[in-house]
Structure 1
Amino acid sequence: MVMVEMLNNPPACSISMYRNSHQTHWFCCSRRHDLRTHLKCIGCSAYLSWRLNIKMNCAKNHVFGVVALAEGSSTWLGTPKQITPENFLSCKSIGIKTPCIMPNKVARLEFESDCDEGRTPLFEGKEGFSENCPQHILPPWGDLSDEELEYQNNLDDSLRRSTKTIDETDNERYYLEERNEEILSKRILKLSRSNKVRSVLALYRSMEFSGLLPNSHACNSLLSCLSRNGRLDDALKIFEFMKTREIITGHTYSLILKAVANDRGCDIALSMFEEADRASKTRKYMDTIVYNTMIAIFGKLNNWVQAERMWRKLQDNGHVGTIVTYRLLVCIFVRCGRNELALDAYHEMIRNGLCPGDDSMQAIIGACTREGKWDMALNVLQSMLNSELKPTLTACNALINSLGKAAKVEHAFKVYGLLRSLGYKPDAYTWNALLVALNRANRHADALRLFETIRREDSTVINLHIYNTCLMSCQRLGLWERAMQLLWEMEDSVFPVSVTSYNLVIGACEAARKPKVALRVYERMVQQKQSPDIFTLLSLIRGCIWGSLWDEVEEILNSAPNGSLYNAAIQGICLRSKTDLARKFYAKMREIGLKPDGKTRALMLQNLPKG
């Protein structure tokens, strides 16, 4: 027995042949039913029963078409065609000329038999069929015999493109038994959520081919599925279909704009948005959600200019922003350093009666501290506590730092107490902000006592910034010995001692009238390969003048000729009533081409001899 089984979508049909000593029998039966000489046309009201008798003294080569349909459809037999007979062996197997069975296409099957005697037609009766066989049975979509050659060419092309993936060459369509659009839309929704791209596309194309319209919710879910799987071209085709059938929504535009921005860039998405916004037919779909999508797209690139433009356009078109809108705007503006715009967005959110979220408040506290609006930052912090929101350690530190710069020591320590009550452990930024607050309030001794407390409680948080803040307190108090001790500790630690640290120690020696100690610190600085800056030399000159170290002053001026250094030296020498030395330095200053400032010229006019 020779069997050919055509499988497309179950149930499939099979065509079988068997022969005995007198005759050969052909029959077609369902795969799961034992029908011997009957061809069951599924979906039809009749059974086709036929029998083909082949005499052993004949040889004929016949070709007829079998249409394989999807599940729940019918199997049809086309009109047989006779081709040129040839001599073959007494029995040959069925040859399938098409390599596969495609939906809604005709598969060519070639049956061959041969014998030593004459030839008679394979099919008896009118038109080559038996009397029980219907004449010219056609599929529901018409006669496909004219498309046979085109289909064969398509199959050849598909073989030549065999290196492509299935998704690139697949264009499946199903015969749909279900005609309810809502039920089919739910199937699309379920397949899309499961990321079954091929199946959902085939179902969508089948509905489109059958004139059925999925609802907008199903199409949006399909767009999201295609976007997740990198099928932007298919998503754009479905988007155009939705526009044509007018089932598009604002959510549809949000999905497609986000997909286009991720795949082809923000400029293409912006052009697409502006085109839709200009057209009166699609402008009605540009709701707040679409604007939020565009703001988020530009926020990823920190493009605050376009984000602000979308915000203004949203206002001009009469839309009201949501919490998402203002959260995006505040975070983008704060991240880009546009604190004034962030505060404007926050105030507009409050005017619209919206309650800001946790991240918006954290960002606003940061914006207020950078703008020096510590009172507003305190109000936002209190609003967070009233809403049972927990501010972060970073927000508390930023507020302490802002209060410290404003010399609001009491408020700063209150926020510090709140920080401890929330369960946070103070870090180096916290302690440095408190030390800065004490220094700004001219409580330098308290700052040094706080430093000793930090050293006792948690010395691991002490860093270079905390040391420099303490050195600043020593400079203001003139505690040169304490400054030298801190400098030695810094050199013995792993912290790299900077020029700023040496300058603060030299400044402490200057305040204590210890110029020789300052010079030793300067020499140590040079040994550590730290280049002195203008502040280092100015402090040394002032200290040497008050210590009457005139040779050292001249040596410093010769090593680094600078107008600011000469002006400071001449003015200090004049105040010490050393007019001859002042005129000497003034003449040298004019000789090397340096210009004196107004105060230096005035002092020299007073001290120059008349005439």
Structure 2
Amino acid sequence: MRWRTAAAFSSLESLFQALSATRSLPQIAQLHQQLLVRGLAPAPFRATKLLQLYADASDLPSALRLFAALPRPSVFAWTPILALFSRSGDHLRCLAGYAAMRYAAVAPDGYVFPSVLRSSVAAAHPSAVHADAVKFRSDAVLPVRNALVDAYSKVGDTASARCVFDLTDGRDLVSWNSMICGYVNAGCIGLARELLRSMESDGCEPDLVTWNIVMDGYSRAGRSDEALKIFDQISDPNVVSWTTLISCYSRCGNHEAALAIFRRMLSAATIPPDQDTLSCVISCCRNVARLANGREVHAYGLKTMAADAFYSSAGAALVTMYASCNKLSTAEQAFLMMDPADVVAWNAVILGFAHSGLDHTALEYFRDLQSRGNRSDETTVATILPVCDLNLGKQIHAHVARHHTGSSPLVWNALMNMYARSGCIRDAYLVFSRMVSRDVVSWNTMIGAYGSHGLGKEALELMDLMKGLGPKPNAITFTNALMACSHCGMVDEGLELFENLSQSWGLVPTMEQYACVVDLLARAGRFGEAAGFIRRMAVRPSKSVWGALLAACRTHQNVEFGRLAFEQLVLLEPENPGNYVTMSNIYARAGQWEDAKKVRRMMERRALVKPSGYSWIEAT
């Protein structure tokens, strides 16, 4: 609205109300100036009103100046300050302000607690704020109850969140959405769906936010078909709905379907994609090597939104896409468009060059990051460790010990993998044993490390320990353990493990696990059992299964089963020259020269060439 003098309003109070609705900083500052000129501002009541206006307009410096001038700030002055701290993400400052408020003997009310509870998640102690809400009889206020459900859910305490939810009278849409979101974040999609049904039977109609939350839950569970069914029920999806569905298919590895949904979104022409949508789509283009489509999305983003906003969200995906497609100069150009102080930009360029096999360039960017004084994060460390030799890996380990002592398992898992890859299995186990908290990746990494070093017994012992102390084993756990059995000739143990996979743990065997069992039997020379196992498979054998059999036939010089595997591989991947070379060598070593020539002629007819081998050494 245009500025009018105070005389145009029936009272000063109506002017405050009007500015509270517009939140126009120039008009608020002009009112402040008029009050100073008229000598009306120093009154604590009016100063508090002005403070609230500045806080609602997110002008923290002006709000703090007024706050500091108050002789004894009331709860009405503390409330907007704490809300602004929480809203702007300065959670520790919000908690410190709340502590100062309590020290000043100012009693908090139902308007203070929602902001403080949102910030309490940063310190992972909403229970302390909950106790204060009970003490000051604000815990029954609906916004406080909703904030408690949200806070407990975000720190992973869904039991406490559900307890507060069940005790809440007059639950509104926010109450239901907060609890459903809590279950989704905890990976409990079944409980989320059950609560959704209760919500509908209780007479509360789900809104778009509800459906987006449920879709996100299916996305996290890898259940893309159910997410699509939910999406199709939404009459007017917003950009979050589209992005969630695209992300769901991308997370499940079905990038082609994700791109198809993006094309459907563009065809609908009802909601334009935002930078988060484009970032997800660019990642899909990278995973299926669709460089041309990725460039189109890049151009679309620059055309439809501000460059700073676009690169801040999609820049990292662009860098990794161009680097993975060997467009290194373009990747560097995209990196230069990003904020040089943003560690996400550095992580993206390091990851992109590392995945392209340019370890030296990735290390140069890491050193450049360090030399600029920019602080690396856990992702940086986990990204650079796979390209480090043992000497540099130990240096980064020392860096982690100094600067990332409270690191998540992500960093320690990468360190374990670095030591195991360098042949230092004892150092890898030392890292594992000293971890404060281990996730399933930690256990899988150590089990896999034992297996790759020929320590099958230790791998199975660690898996038994995991069953008792660690998280529930997943498909990768069993794959690593089966590979350990295969490498160490532990056939009976491996077969028993495979049986337990479905019977005791309810897991469906993956193709990789089938290939492990075939490799296990064939390495031991039990080719008849391996062939029988393949015939009994519940799914059609893939090239990895037949490839494992062919490789073992080369080792044991078994022509009969080698021929069987080769015939299947020719049907599955006729353009792979390695299979022809392996079979030809098997025939040659058996003295079957005519058969060897036939295989070589098959290669010539298909114009297949054996890839050249090469070695790489670094001179120092």
Pairwise TM-score range, normalised by the shorter structure:
0.3 to 0.5
When the two structures are superposed, what TM-score results if normalisation uses the length of structure 1?
A: 0.43
Name which one, 1 or 2, has greater alpha-carbon Rg.
Answer: 1
User: Relative CO higher for 1 or 2, CA cutoff 8 Å, sep ≥ 6?
Assistant: 1
More strand by share: 1
When the two structures are superposed, what TM-score results if normalisation uses the length of structure 2?
A: 0.43
More helix by share: 2
